[in-house]
Structure 1
Amino acid sequence: MQSKYVIVGGGAGGLELACKLGRKLGPQAVMLVDSRLFHIWKPSLHEVAAGTLDVHQEGLSYQMLAHDNHFTFVYGPLLALDAQQRVLTVGAIISGDEHKEEVLPQRQIGFDSLVLAIGSTSNYFGVPGAAEHTISLNATEDAERFRLSLLKLLTLAELKKDTQPDAGVDVVIIGGGATGVELAAELREASGVYATYGFRQLDATRDVRITLLEGAPRILAPLPEKVSSAALDLLRQRAVTVVTDTRVTAIDGRGVTAGDTVYPAQLVVWAAGIKAPDLLGTLGLPTVRSGQLDVDGTLAVKGFDYIYALGDCAACAGPDGKLVPPRAQAAHQQADYLLETLVRKHKGQPPQTKLYEYRDYGSLVSFGQTTSVGSLMGSLKGLSWFVEGFVARLMYVSLHLMHHKAVLGTLRTATLAVARYLIKRTTPLVKLH
């Protein structure tokens, strides 16, 4: 197999680049490789975990997107890269049933230019038991595993109520960043809804006990203190126990140990940090201490003017020397920058002279289906506005719609938004199976 421009990783940035480049250059020139068949916007995984978003309705087929946006989709995981020969190896696909048949064989793909956008994975920082006893929301299967585990625990707690009045579910979330905070709020809202669908003896506030542990002095530490304080108030109003300035030292089947305190837990979510996938260290490309690919100001991997990286897997320093944060808006901006780069290369034009520079437009944090909080950055340096409530929620939803617009177009995004609104009026507010 051969393609001029191969993009590995169909996350927010990689997929947007494939769609926009495909619409310009066509399927003979543009190829997207991913180990999954469906795309879901990663910032919405906490909603999938809580059951308030059905991944089977939300997921977008890569094959459908490839057809509509004129790129070629290759299904399979990246296994190896021969950077000098410009060939990458994509692994075989094995069926998930008991027969374990080979659905697709291992393949090799040649390329003229390569873009790596394979994202990040959880960083457990060497905490004993973290990998074995926690769930990290890295992908849709993680979120679905959490949701099904929660549903099973709620059912068991309901059955025990007759003989054990204090029966309930203890959930501990490790990490007070956006993922941890959003999951805590969404879980509280979802647990109340679950209680109305057959869990008659469970009191959501009393029996679904949610604890959020954060090592920093405050939650949402990278955001302005006003946002952090508002988020803390909203969590406390929802009966979420928040413990800051605490370090998790061990996790086992009983619960989470932080200092001298053991927090009982039947479900533990790890949202305390990310790192580059270990695969990057095997590709023969330069990496930094964090394991991310070392890229220059044009997002090219250093030493290779035909290999690029974007998103969480790329260590890109700004003019101030600070690394670009691993955020969806950064991946979106980098995708647009590389779109210009690759189109120029395809047309034989000189490369763009302007280096990539990250622009922070602010942050929004969701607190369920009705409210959000956050900060919006102004055009003047250092100027920001605090937003909260319904207006902030509308802005948060608009970010998701903007991503859909990039991959589906304006008309289909609008139609999809209306359709999902109508579907929600006729289906349970949470997924019950």
Structure 2
Amino acid sequence: MMIDLPGSDASARPGAQAALDGDDTLLGRRTRWAVELLTAPEAPRDEDLSGHFVPVFLARHPQGFAATVEQWRGLGPFTVADYQPVAHKSWVTLQGPTGVRSTLSLTLDSTGPIRVLHLGPEVVTPPVHKWDDLVAALEQPGVTWSALVTREEGGATETLYAKDADRPMPNGSSYKLYLMRALAAAVASGSVRWDDEVTVTPALRSLPTGDMQELPDGTRVTVRETAYKMIAMSDNTAADLIQDLLGRDTVERAVEEAGHADPALLRPFLTSHEVFEIGWGAPGLREEWAAADEAGRRRLLERIAGPMTVRGSDLGPTVHRLGLDWHMSAWDVARVLGLLAEDGVRDDGGDVEEILTAYPGVPVDTARWPRVVFKGGSCPGVMMFCWLLEDPDGVRCTLVLQQRADDQKLIGDGQFLRGMGGRVIASGLLSGTSR
């Protein structure tokens, strides 16, 4: 669904079609082709689609994806009202004949074809001119949320806004920030090289997000590419491969060294594979995990080691209340983001910086913020997004938004929370002004 970002409203943006037509990147070409599926005079045939998608996407449509496209076309004819490309993702707002707007969202696979294509109702985020606007947007029954906004200049850090920023919250994939810190330290010490390789095995294969779970057993991938996918694409299998390379104890030390307020919350430091297997696997595992102390939990992890038995369709009830997630406060997130930013500065080869800044999460004014480190995270009932932004003068701002709920439906797919982050970034509040 749509990320309706700051500065936009529910009207069509001038030049949206021209912007899409003029984008000659691979993302632009793929997006243009996808839009034409919905706007061309004739509906596509399934044989016309196979070369444009990864096989796993088409496998989810055993009756053929062309039938789904035909349903989407029935909402048209469409005009392009907005186009927003960000790294390997794009969002196109399409306006139908009655004025109803939908958003076509697209994600490219790392090999080039389309991995995700979805049409859904547009999600509109309200403007943010003051912090009360953020509060009004995020306050809703059944959802617990926290936020932290800081500004660092000349060695001094100012808290611009904080709401329950010391409260430990489940964070989903933002745990990968600690893995990246541990990896950067291992490379700096010489114990790991970027050109070293990791090997995909059944015991290390996880569920999406990402695409490395689809690689054949025995596939060898460089540490550099694996780390890139772990951060830029939030690839779960990539993260588990990195953790296997480094060792659980190494990552747990990285948590302590990054200043987590209560490192015991992340011991043992779980892999994504383990969260999926305990959370939605064999009956009784969830309750056993919740009742066990740290030693008992480590024994449980040893017992379930092996190929995953859980499928994506098995995911359902929320499990974060049982400690099956990675709990960090907004301040914990801000601290590890800041340390990673320093890792990027110290890395003379530039690999750390390239990985950290590959995907900014939302469209960002690069003249205003030429350096952006971003990470998002989700799990049933959990959503978070965080940014570290640096201006041309070296002033750094950090933004952390976290949500949790017992009912996943109250949070949705995260596009609203991500859009609110974009609203804050473009509001002027980070630099002390608002527009």
TM-score normalized with structure 1 length:
0.25
Larger helix percent: 2
TM-score normalized with structure 2 length:
0.25
- The higher relative CO (CA closer than 8 Å, separation ≥ 6) is in 2
